């Protein structure tokens, strides 16, 4: 194999040949009459067209050259004949695989039926100065794929399909909610108090105001203030930031959908969640069955419902509402459970270990302990439980929803309780927001709130195992630290 430096030098030579011929790629413009996918769909022999894309294959046959041109919508064959290009045919050898090329010509079909453009004029509009990887040989290293996502997209139809599907999914979410009277809104990404979740925030500083601010960990409190203001159905597709670990299901910067509806509750949010996700599956996959690592996964409604403590008892064999049994079982399976560990933290870790991996079919987990839900209403029949659900599919948490707490005195008490329960140096932090409590004092109608992880939903609907496969530019270590 030629050394990389020699290949780059050859491409520099080809660039100079184009410039000497008055065809400097970086001084050329090109206007298309259509996209390749459109031409293929309405293929009519003899029609004149102008298309552009990336040159991905080239085959010389004496006085003719065949090539493959790709754009975002598809691939079409090009046919360059010496008799049709007497002045530029020899210059074709200055084109390299990966060049961005524009061609004019007319459509025809070869004897084998291949849809082709008979080229009458061509121009290089961007020179590819580095050789592309040979198919997947240069892209097996996932770090290279994520760090040089542009190469991943050039070389992998699957990668392009994943991100096109994600884009269609987000557009479908907007259509679904807009059709039901929800308003899309925007709330601050820099906040004086990072509220709405228990997580470690990123901290920044505003120089002009000499003010410390935090990148938001959730937009929840601002959105509920809009309910106070009379906007009864709101949603935000928002970027959140949590200064925590990276894993196949976690990225420090991620996208959430949050939805709030006045005069609803967590039961109403369950219906909304089922309807939204099944509508997206129908749009993207044509039905309730979607591809999964096991073959197919059914999203047929209604989805399973079970309570937090029912599932915890099934997973552990212990009545975990009893503190002694919960701590004893936790100790047996290696979950921290000593005297300094809050019981709620024991429940949370036991659930993650014993129950979550078993939740393959769509499952609404209902009625969490209030200690795990500082922003949710308690159940009237049992105030130690909260009207909250989490949705799990394929062992992954996709959604979280509450009947929203709207009692300002109870909210202050919950905030104080959370602050008192913090242990020094713990990874998660919790911040009480007095401004939010003041807003509640003006009266927030009863409401349901829902959060759906967009990246995780994209993982589900594209049958992808890692969150980094559905984020165009995931957070990575610097190349020197990564050993790249």
Nearest by Cα to 402 from 428, 432, 370: 370
Same domain flag for 365 and 407: yes
Same domain flag for 8 and 58: yes
Query: Can you say whether the dihedral through the CA atoms of 112, 117, 119, 122 is positive or negative?
Result: negative
What is the domain range of residue 99?
Answer: 4-132
What pLDDT sits at residue 441?
A: 97
Q: Is residue 409 part of a domain?
A: yes
Same domain flag for 128 and 173: no
Q: Is residue 328 part of a domain?
A: no
- Residue 193 token pair: 């108090």
Q: Is residue 405 part of a domain?
A: yes
Residue 93: other Cβ atoms inside 10 A = 12
Q: How many domains does the chain have?
A: 2
Same domain flag for 430 and 285: yes
CA dist 476 to 139, 186, 343, Å? 17, 28, 35
Residue 367 has pLDDT above 70, yes or no: yes
Same domain flag for 168 and 127: no
Residue 352: other Cβ atoms inside 10 A = 12
Residue 30: other Cβ atoms inside 10 A = 16
Average pLDDT over residues 359-374: 95
Same domain flag for 121 and 178: no
Mean pLDDT of the residues in the chain:
93
What pLDDT sits at residue 483?
A: 44
Strands (E) located in 127-232:
183-184, 190-191, 203-206, 211-215
Q: Is residue 338 part of a domain?
A: no
Same domain flag for 159 and 255: yes
Nearest by Cα to 266 from 435, 380, 188, 343: 380
Which H or E element spans position 438?
helix 434-440
pLDDT per residue as tens digits for the range 132-154: 987 645 566 788 889 999 999 99
pLDDT per residue as tens digits for the range 97-112: 999 999 999 999 999 9
Q: Is residue 100 part of a domain?
A: yes
Same domain flag for 452 and 383: yes
- Residue 420 token pair: 């008192």
Q: Is residue 261 part of a domain?
A: yes
Same domain flag for 119 and 255: no
pLDDT per residue as tens digits for the range 256-301: 999 999 999 999 999 999 999 999 999 999 999 999 988 999 999 9
Same domain flag for 55 and 90: yes
CATH number of the domain where residue 419 is located: 3.30.930.10
Residue 484 has pLDDT above 50, yes or no: no
pLDDT per residue as tens digits for the range 266-277: 999 999 999 999
CATH number of the domain where residue 82 is located: 2.40.50.140
Residue 3 has pLDDT above 80, yes or no: no
Task: Indicate the residue among 100, 132, 164 that finishes a domain.
Answer: 132
Q: Is residue 119 part of a domain?
A: yes
Same domain flag for 62 and 96: yes
pLDDT band at 481 (very low <50, low <70, confident <90, very high): very low
Task: Indicate the residue among 102, 132, 162 that finishes a domain.
Answer: 132
Nearest by Cα to 375 from 208, 220, 181: 220
Q: What percent of the chain has pLDDT over 70?
A: 95
Same domain flag for 396 and 295: yes
Q: Is residue 413 part of a domain?
A: yes
Average pLDDT over residues 221-240: 97
């Amino acid at each position: 194999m030629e050394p990389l430096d020699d290949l780059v030098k050859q491409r520099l030579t080809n660039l100079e040949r184009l410039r000497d011929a008055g065809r400097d790629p970086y001084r050329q413009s090109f206007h298309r009459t259509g996209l390749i996918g459109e031409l293929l769909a309405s293929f009519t022999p003899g029609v004149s067209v102008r298309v552009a894309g990336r040159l991905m294959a080239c085959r010389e046959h004496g006085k003719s050259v065949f090539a493959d041109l790709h754009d975002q919508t598809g691939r079409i064959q090009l046919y360059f004949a010496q008799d049709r290009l007497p002045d530029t045919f020899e210059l074709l050898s200055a084109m390299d695989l990966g060049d961005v090329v524009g061609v004019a010509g007319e459509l025809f079909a070869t004897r084998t039926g291949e849809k082709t453009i008979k080229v009458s004029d061509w121009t290089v509009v961007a020179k590819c100065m580095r050789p592309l990887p040979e198919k997947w040989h240069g892209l097996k290293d996932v770090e290279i794929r994520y760090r040089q996502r542009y190469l991943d997209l050039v070389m992998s139809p699957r990668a392009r399909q994943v991100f096109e599907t994600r884009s269609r999914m987000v557009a479908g979410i907007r259509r679904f909610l807009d059709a039901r009277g929800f308003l899309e809104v925007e709330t601050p990404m820099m906040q004086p108090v990072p509220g709405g979740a228990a997580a470690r925030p990123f901290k920044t500083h505003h120089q002009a105001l000499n003010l410390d601010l935090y990148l938001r960990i959730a937009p929840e409190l601002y959105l509920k203030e809009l309910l106070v203001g009379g906007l009864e159905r709101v949603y935000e597709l928002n970027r959140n930031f949590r200064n925590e670990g990276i894993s196949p299901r976690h990225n420090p910067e991620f996208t959430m959908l949050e939805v709030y509806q006045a005069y609803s509750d967590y039961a109403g949010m369950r219906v909304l969640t089922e309807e939204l996700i099944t509508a997206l599956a129908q749009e993207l996959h044509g039905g309730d069955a979607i591809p999964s690592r096991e073959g197919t996964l059914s999203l047929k409604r209604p989805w399973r419902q079970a309570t937090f403590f029912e599932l915890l008892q099934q997973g552990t064999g212990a009545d975990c509402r009893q503190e002694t049994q919960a701590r004893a079982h936790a100790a047996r399976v290696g979950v921290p459970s000593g005297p300094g560990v809050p019981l709620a933290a024991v429940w949370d870790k036991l659930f993650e270990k014993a129950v979550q991996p078993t939740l393959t079919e769509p499952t609404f987990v209902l009625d969490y302990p209030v200690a795990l839900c500082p922003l949710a209403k308690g159940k009237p029949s049992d105030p130690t439980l909260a009207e909250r659900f989490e949705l799990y599919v394929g062992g992954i948490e996709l959604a979280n929803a509450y009947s929203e707490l709207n009692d300002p005195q109870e909210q202050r008490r919950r905030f104080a309780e959370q602050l008192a329960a913090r242990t020094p140096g713990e990874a998660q932090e919790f911040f009480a927001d007095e401004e939010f409590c003041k807003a509640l004092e003006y009266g927030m109608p009863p409401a349901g709130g829902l959060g759906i992880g967009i990246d995780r939903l994209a993982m589900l609907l594209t049958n992808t195992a890692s969150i980094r496969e559905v984020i165009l530019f995931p957070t990575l270590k610097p190349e020197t630290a990564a050993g790249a």
